[in-house]
């Protein structure tokens, strides 16, 4: 995230910013969805055992 800020501060019209932002969002989604799936799995395990 800091790299995005640095690039924006240096050159706000840099075309790579859009791609880097999308990559960052995808990583956050994976992290959040992974946690959600882990919670669901944990709850199912508690119910069944």
Instruction: Summarize pLDDT for 4-24 with one digit per residue, the tens.
Output: 888 889 899 998 899 999 999
Query: What pLDDT is recorded for position 22?
Result: 92
Tokens of 14: 């840099």
As a whole number, mean pLDDT of residues 25-49 equals 79
For residue 43, the enclosing domain spans 2-48
State the Rg of the chain over Cα: 18
Query: What pLDDT is recorded for position 21?
Result: 92
**pTM across the whole model:** 0.57
Query: What pLDDT is recorded for position 35?
Result: 73
Instruction: Please classify residue 17 by burial: count the beta carbons closer than 10 Å to its beta carbon, then call 0-12 exposed, 13-18 middle and 19+ buried.
Output: middle
Whether 17 and 25 have beta carbons less than 8 Å apart is answered as no
Residue with tokens 């709850």: 43
Query: What pLDDT is recorded for position 49?
Result: 64
The total of structural domains in the chain comes to 1
């Amino acid at each position: 995230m800091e790299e995005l800020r640095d690039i924006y501060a240096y050159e706000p019209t840099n075309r790579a910013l859009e791609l880097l932002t999308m990559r960052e969002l995808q990583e956050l989604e994976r992290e959040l969805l992974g946690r959600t799936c882990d919670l669901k799995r944990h709850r199912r395990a508690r119910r069944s055992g």
